[in-house]
Structure 1
C-alpha cells in the first residue's frame, strides 16, 4: 500500500470512435484529499475510482482527471432536442428549489449540458 507520494502521470489513447486522456497529480499531505474529475455520463465511475483510490492510498492531495471525446466529426452528431428540453426543465426545477431554500448555484454551461448522456446522438 502506498502511504505517501508526490508525482505526476498521464496517459492517453483511442478506442473505436473515442479518444481519452488521464492525468494524475499528487503531492504529500497529512490526510487523504481526492479531487476526481470524470465525465458525468459515465455512471458510477467516480464512486468506483474513489473506492479504489481510498483502498490503495492513505495520504496525499490527489487530483485525477479523465477527459473523453468523440473522434467522429460533429456533422455526424445531432442534438436530441427532446432530451435537451427535458434536461433544461429538470435544471430549472433544481434551480428553483435551490433558490427557495436559499442556496446559490453556479449557472449551467452549454458545454456541461453537451456532455450529458443522450444529448448528442
Structure 2
C-alpha cells in the first residue's frame, strides 16, 4: 500500500512516579534523516532508540522526542540551574523584544528537562518499557502514513486518468494538423513566388516532413508509462516513491515530445493540461515513501 512520508505518532505511559512521552514526526526526505531530543536519563539508550527507528522508517526527515514529567513527590529531582538560567535569559530577551511584561519564573519551571534526577539509575525494566512506548509511537506514525497514502493514491489515480483521457483526444486533431502543415508549406512556396510546383515532389517532401512529426510512438509509450505508474503504485509492502519519480520523468519526456510535434492550437492545449496534471503528480511523489 502506498505511504506518505509525512507522519506523526505519540505514545504516553506512566512508570512509577514518571510520565513518559514519546513522539515521532516525519516529513519528506530522500533518505532517513533522524534527529533526537532525549531526556538525560535515557541518553544511554540513544543508539538503540535510533536503530529501532531506522528499522521501521525507511526514509523521511524524522524527529524523535522523549520527555519525562515527574508525577510524584521525590527529593531526587532538583532544578537544572544552568538550563533554567539559559531559558530565563532567552525568555527575558524575547519579552523585551515584544515589549511584553511576563512573570518568567513559572514559565521557566515548566520548560523541558528543567528537572534532573541526581541519583536515579536506569533499570532494565524501565528500558524495556520505554522501548514498548517507542514501538507504539512508531506504529501510530506508520498508520498515519498509510492513511495519508490512501489520499495520495486517489490523487495519483485521478490525475493519471485525466492524462489518459487527454491522450484519447489526440487522434481527432492529427489529421487537422496535417492539413495545417500542408497549407503552410504550399503558402510558403506561393509567398516565395514559385512559378510552378511539382506536385509529386511536393507530396514526397510533405510525407517526409509528416513522418518526422508522427506521434504514434509517443502515444504508445505514454500510454504504457501511465499504466506502469498505476501498476507500480499498487504494489504492496514495498516503498515505491523513488520508482514513481523515475516513471513520472519518463511520462514527462513523452508529453514534451508530443508538445513539440503538436502544430495545432487545440493539441497544444491538451499538452498543457497534461503537463499541469503531471506537475501535480511530481509534487506529491516527493512526499511518497
Where on the TM-score scale, by shorter chain, does this alignment land: which range? Answer: 0.5 to 0.7
Tell me the CA shift for residue 65 of structure 1: 0.7
Q: Which moved more, 1:26-35 or 1:52-61?
A: 52-61
Tell me the CA shift for residue 113 of structure 1: 7.3
Higher strand share: 1
Give the corresponding residue for 1:30. Answer: 30
**TM-score, structure 1 length as denominator?**
0.58
Tell me the CA shift for residue 8 of structure 1: 0.9
Give the corresponding residue for 2:58. Answer: 58
Tell me the CA shift for residue 16 of structure 1: 1.8
Structure 2 gaps of 5+ residues are 85-111, 121-289
Structure 1 gaps of 5+ residues are 85-107
Distance 1:9 1:118 in 2: 31
Distance 1:112 1:17, change over 3 A: closer
Distance 1:6 1:69 in 2: 27
1:76-103 Cα deviation digits (max 9, x unpaired): 41568xxx9xxxxxxxxxxxxxxxxxxx
Q: Provide the alpha-carbon RMSD of the alignment.
A: 3.0
Q: Residue 109 in 1 paired to residue 107 in 2?
A: no
Give the corresponding residue for 1:18. Answer: 18
Give the corresponding residue for 2:75. Answer: 77
Higher helix share: 2
Tell me the CA shift for residue 50 of structure 1: 0.9
- Contact 2:39/2:113 (8 A) holds in 1: no
1:31-62 Cα deviation digits (max 9, x unpaired): 11101111122242211111122233221011
